[in-house]
C-alpha cells in the first residue's frame, strides 16, 4: 500500500493533521456549489440532454469501462451519444475532436481510449460547456456523456451517474487532502444513480462487475496471450484492481511496476522487464508506439447488475419524456 493509500484507506495519524486543510477545501467547494445552486454563478445548458459519469473520490472507480458500456446501451436504445472530457494531461485550450491519428499526449489517455473503443465522437476541452457546444456543432449526436464531470457545475446536467469503488469504499470518509473525497458522502444522496464497482456498498443502488477480455498484443499482430506468469505495468488510479482482474483471468503476477495515474510512459519504463508485460488498455494507448513483441493489454468490459439496469431504464424513460415535451 502506497503512502497516500495508507493515509486515505488505512490507519494513519497523519491524516488527522491535515483536517484543517480539508475544512478549507470543504468551505471553498461548498461555496462554489452553493453559488451555482442560487444562480450567482450561471450554469450553461446545452441543446441536448447531458449525462454526467463521475465520482466523489480521487482514483480509479471504473468510469471508463462504464462509459463504454453506457455508449453501447444508449445506442441500442436509439440514441446517438457523444462524449466530452477534460483531456487530462494534454495542453488543450480550445475544443478538439479526437481523431484516429491523435496520440495520448495530445488529447489525454482516457479520451483517446474512449474514441477508439466506443464508436462515438469524443471532444476534449477543460471548458465542458464549450466542449459540448462543439460536439453538437460538429457531429449528429443527440445526447452527451460528460466523462468525470460531476464537480464541473458550470455545465447543466440532466442525469448524474456516480461510480464508487466497491472494494475500498470511501476510505476514511474525509475530504482532500486528509481523505480521498472531492465532495462529502452526503453528495451521493443528491445524484440519480450510484454504482459500486465490483462489490456492493450500502449507499449504492447496484453493482457493476468488470469482465476481462483476451489479452491482445500491442504490435497489431492479433496474437493473444494465454494465462502465464506476467509482469503488470500500470499508471492508473487503483492498480490493485488490475492485479485482481489479471489473476481472475488466470495470469500469475510475478512482478508489478506501477506508476502514478496518467503516467507518461517512455521506452525506459519497459526496457529492463523480461517476459510478457501485461498492461491496461488505458496504458496501452500510450505505449503502443514503442511496445515490444512482449507487450499485451488486458481489456475489461462492464457488466451492471439488474438493479442498475432497472433504475437506469426508469431514468432514461423520464428523460426522454421530458425532452420530447
pLDDT of 325 > 80? The answer is no
CB 118 within 8 A of CB 281: no
271 lies in the same domain as 317:
no
Q: How confident is the model at residue 122 (pLDDT cuts 50, 70, 90)?
A: very high
pLDDT of residue 96: 97
User: How much is the average pLDDT of 248-270?
Assistant: 94
Return the SS3 of 240.
Answer: helix
User: How much is the average pLDDT of 89-100?
Assistant: 92
pLDDT of residue 88: 87
pLDDT of residue 13: 80
CB 261 within 8 A of CB 235: yes
Distance CA 199, CA 188 (A): 17
* Cell numbers representing residue 251 in the block: 495470469
313 lies in the same domain as 239:
no
Is residue 273 one of the residues assigned to a domain? yes
Q: How confident is the model at residue 5 (pLDDT cuts 50, 70, 90)?
A: confident
Is residue 12 one of the residues assigned to a domain? no
289 lies in the same domain as 182:
no
User: How much is the average pLDDT of 165-183?
Assistant: 94
User: How much is the average pLDDT of 105-121?
Assistant: 95
User: How much is the average pLDDT of 277-292?
Assistant: 95
CB 188 within 8 A of CB 194: yes
pLDDT of residue 300: 96
Which residues form the domain of 259?
210-303
pLDDT of 15 > 90? The answer is no
Distance CA 304, CA 249 (A): 19
Is residue 6 one of the residues assigned to a domain? no
Distance CA 215, CA 224 (A): 5
Classify strands 122-124 and 96-97 as parallel, antiparallel or unpaired.
Answer: antiparallel
pLDDT of residue 16: 87
ω before 53 within 30° of 0 (cis)?
no
The single-letter DSSP state of residue 205 is S
191 lies in the same domain as 239:
no
Is residue 175 one of the residues assigned to a domain? yes
297 lies in the same domain as 309:
no
253 lies in the same domain as 146:
no
Show Cβ contacts of residue 284 under 8 Å, excluding neighbours closer than 6 positions: 218, 291, 295, 297
pTM: 0.94
315 lies in the same domain as 173:
yes
Q: How confident is the model at residue 296 (pLDDT cuts 50, 70, 90)?
A: very high
256 lies in the same domain as 148:
no
176 lies in the same domain as 318:
yes
pLDDT of residue 114: 96
Percent pLDDT > 90 in the chain is 86
Distance of CA 184 to the CA centre of its chain: 19
- φ/ψ of 5, rounded to 5, equals -70, -40
User: How much is the average pLDDT of 143-155?
Assistant: 96
Q: What is the pLDDT of residues 192-244, one digit of tens each?
A: 999 999 999 999 999 999 999 999 999 999 999 999 999 999 999 888 889 99
68 lies in the same domain as 149:
yes
> What is the enclosing helix (H) or strand (E) of 232?
strand 229-234
Q: What is the pLDDT of residues 30-45, one digit of tens each?
A: 999 999 999 999 999 9
Q: How confident is the model at residue 1 (pLDDT cuts 50, 70, 90)?
A: low
Query: What total number of domains does the chain contain?
Result: 2
Length reported for the chain: 325
Count Cβ atoms below 10 Å from residue 309 Cβ, excluding itself: 12
Q: What is the CATH number of the domain that holds 102?
A: 3.40.50
pLDDT of 2 > 70? The answer is no
Query: Worst-scoring range by mean pLDDT, 22-26, 101-105, 249-253, 313-317?
Result: 101-105
User: How much is the average pLDDT of 275-292?
Assistant: 95
Average pLDDT value for the chain:
94
Amino acid at each position: 500500500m502506497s503512502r497516500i493509500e495508507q493515509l486515505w484507506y488505512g490507519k494513519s495519524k497523519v491524516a488527522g493533521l491535515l483536517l484543517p486543510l480539508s475544512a478549507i477545501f470543504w468551505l471553498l467547494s461548498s461555496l462554489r456549489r452553493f453559488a451555482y445552486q442560487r444562480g450567482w454563478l450561471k450554469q450553461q445548458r446545452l441543446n441536448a440532454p447531458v449525462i454526467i459519469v463521475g465520482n466523489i473520490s480521487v482514483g480509479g472507480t471504473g468510469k471508463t469501462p462504464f462509459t463504454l458500456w453506457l455508449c453501447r446501451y444508449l445506442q441500442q436504445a436509439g440514441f446517438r451519444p457523444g462524449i466530452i472530457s477534460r483531456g487530462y494531461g494534454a495542453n488543450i485550450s480550445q475544443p478538439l475532436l479526437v481523431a484516429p491519428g491523435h496520440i495520448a499526449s495530445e488529447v489525454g489517455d482516457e479520451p483517446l481510449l474512449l474514441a477508439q473503443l466506443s464508436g462515438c465522437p469524443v471532444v476534449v476541452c477543460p471548458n465542458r460547456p464549450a466542449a459540448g457546444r462543439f460536439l453538437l456543432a460538429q457531429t449528429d449526436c443527440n445526447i452527451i456523456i460528460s466523462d468525470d464531470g460531476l464537480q464541473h457545475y458550470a455545465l447543466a446536467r440532466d442525469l448524474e451517474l456516480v461510480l464508487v469503488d466497491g472494494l475500498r469504499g470511501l476510505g476514511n470518509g474525509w475530504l482532500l487532502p486528509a481523505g480521498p473525497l472531492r465532495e462529502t458522502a452526503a453528495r451521493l444522496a443528491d445524484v440519480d444513480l450510484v454504482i459500486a464497482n465490483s462489490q456492493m456498498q450500502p449507499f449504492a443502488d447496484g453493482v457493476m462487475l468488470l469482465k476481462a477480455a483476451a489479452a491482445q498484443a500491442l504490435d497489431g499482430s492479433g496474437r493473444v496471450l494465454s494465462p502465464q506468469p506476467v509482469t503488470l505495468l500500470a499508471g492508473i488510479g487503483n492498480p490493485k484492481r488490475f492485479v485482481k482482474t489479471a489473476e481472475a483471468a488466470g495470469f500469475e503476477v510475478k512482478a508489478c511496476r506501477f506508476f502514478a495515474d496518467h503516467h507518461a510512459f517512455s521506452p525506459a519504463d519497459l526496457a529492463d522487464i523480461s517476459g510478457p508485460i501485461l498492461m491496461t488498455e488505458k496504458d496501452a494507448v500510450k505505449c503502443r508506439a514503442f511496445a515490444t513483441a512482449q507487450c499485451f493489454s488486458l481489456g475489461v468490459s462492464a457488466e451492471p447488475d439488474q438493479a442498475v439496469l432497472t433504475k437506469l431504464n426508469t431514468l432514461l424513460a423520464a428523460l426522454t419524456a421530458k425532452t420530447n415535451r
